[in-house]
Chains A and B, each alone.
Chain A
Amino acid sequence: MLELKALSRHFGGVRAVDGLELSIARGEILGLIGPNGSGKSTTVNLITGLFAPSAGRVVFDGEDLTGAPTHRRVARGIARTFQNIRLFGRLTVWQNLWVAQNSPADRAERGFFARWLGGSRGVRERLAGLLELAGLAHRRDELAASLSFGEQRRLELARALATRPKLLLLDEPAAGMNAEEIGQLDERIRRLKGEGYTILLIEHHMELVMAVADRIAVLNFGQKIAEGPPPAIQADPAVRKAYLGSDAK
């Protein structure tokens, strides 16, 4: 579904991502791990088009999206959440989802004029369903900035789903969560997979990645040093070395 071909991004002399080859199959959960500064977030920004690559290509559903602007990639079905939650704090919970409905299907349903005016009942019902799923129905008209941390994470995921994505890029969704919340997140990710979403999960919380990912790719200094099913990755000497230093046995 998504293919990164020899993707590179250099910042001055730093090779944040260096010749990365990565592919994600439809319906799969791919875990992307690596030490701090290994290029995980840069990879997400290259996939979503916030950064232009220095070299290489991004191919999604057979279409080369390398030079496409971010909003067009979202329309094709790539949605993301941010490591440091980025909601529209001055909009209400409901409005945060409302402005995210930019998919071709939603545009068609709204028609040209309705797109400016508001939206049909179908659109509103879909948003109500997303709010219900995120457990935020009772906070519908609160400002997003007034939500608790956990609620903000749930709203951000719901907002990504409101764009009707095929591929979800989750950038450290467990950051700052306690054990109970991580348990709920685990459940939510599995449910999304069950609904047919393809997921790229970037995460530091190993237990979570190992539990939900079908396959894991490991980055270090912008290069892929290992790829495989979770047990193989746990046993991989190169991965241990990257995480624990050269003396690790």
Chain B
Amino acid sequence: MDFYVGLAQLIGVHALLGLSAYVVLLTGQVSLAQAGFFAIGAYAAGMLTVMAGWPLLAALPVASLAGAAAACAVGFPALRVRGLMLVIATLAFAEVVRLFFFNFDFQVARAGVKVGPLGGEGFRQIRYFPENAWTTLEVTLFIWAFVAAIMALLWWFDRSRFGTVLRAVGDDELAAQSVGISLTGAKVTAMALGGAIAGIGGGIYAHYTTHIEQANFNILLATLAIAYPLVGGLSNVFGTLVAVVFVQGLLVEGLRFLGDWRNLLFGALIVLAMNLRPSGLFGARGA
């Protein structure tokens, strides 16, 4: 049972990560920076609850803002590149963030114990949930309340005019400019929104694992973030959620009995899925 609850928590957090990439992908930007925003949110929220003693619900909005601010900083220069160059540039950003936390030592003493991020050792003691006697079930519900709220928000956003404008930019940038859409406005807003969602996801992630380190936010995480909406398709937010369940639940966990062969089959199944459903499991018609 614990196994399934843990899996549900993981799926919830990765769903937030995938949704952050989904928003950015609507404008046609393939961003590997989402793992970086996720890391920034994780460290920011962890430091606020552990070192400043904030409640988690107050720390998460700040983590979200930190993610959004970092995304704006990436969004503006990212306007100048597209396609593979954008992939490389955003990947470089994610690596810069990871290496920053690899070298980031900042500890304070609380109740006689030094707490805070300690470079390569990572950031331990993010014990907000156990300290406040949250049960595993409560933590899971907490995570999924955020997933549900953000999915509902994005579902509505997708149907709004601004969501449609983002899709127009993703469809044809030249035509979008020519009907008066500001590419800068659309792309940077999408980036910032994605950064905000990744920041929340990271903040929650830090607290349910209780221990984070730079290696958690590597290229694999960045790739997964963008793989979820790509596998799930961009027709609506549920595709991303189904893709997370498919990848984390079925492929990563379900194939564990295969041992080292799992990664091989994992790759093969992704390739198979992309070939059978090139526009995602729930791809748009004719797209």
Contact = CB atoms under 8 A, between A and B. Distances in A.
Interface in B61-88: none
B179 A163 contact: yes
B121 to A, nearest CB: 44
A75 B164 CA distance: 19
Interface stretch (B10-18, B170-178, B221-229, B247-255): B170-178
Nearest to B177: A70
A115 interface: yes
B150 to A, nearest CB: 17
A88 B172 contact: yes
Interface string A115-136: 1111100000000000000000
Given A82-B175, A88-B175, A90-B171, A163 B162 contact: no
Given A74-B180, A86-B172, A100-B179, A91 B161 contact: no
Interface stretch (B103-111, B209-217, B268-276, B279-287): B279-287
A145 B286 contact: yes
A87 B286 CA distance: 15
Contact of A74 (B164, B172, B178): B178
Nearest to A123: B161
Chain B interface size range: 20 to 34
Interface string A220-241: 0000000000000000000000
A163 B181 CA distance: 10
A163 B178 CA distance: 9
B285 to A, nearest CB: 7
Contacts of A162: 179
Interface in B178-201: 178-183
Q: Quick one: which of B160, B162, B171 has the most chain A CB within 10 A?
A: B171
Contacts of A137: none
Nearest to A169: B178
A79 B180 CA distance: 8
Contact of B165 (A79, A99, A119): A99
Interface of B: 160-162, 164-165, 167-168, 171-172, 174-183, 284-287
21 contacts: A50-B174, A50-B177, A70-B178, A71-B181, A71-B183, A74-B179, A82-B175, A88-B176, A89-B286, A90-B167, A90-B284, A91-B167, A91-B168, A91-B171, A98-B164, A102-B180, A102-B181, A118-B160, A145-B286, A162-B179, A163-B180
Given A70-B178, A87-B175, 15 more contacts: A50-B174, A71-B177, A71-B180, A74-B178, A80-B178, A86-B172, A88-B176, A89-B171, A98-B164, A99-B161, A100-B180, A102-B179, A117-B161, A118-B161, A163-B180
Interface of A: 48, 50, 69-71, 74-75, 79-80, 82, 86-91, 95-96, 98-103, 115-119, 143, 145-146, 159-160, 162-163
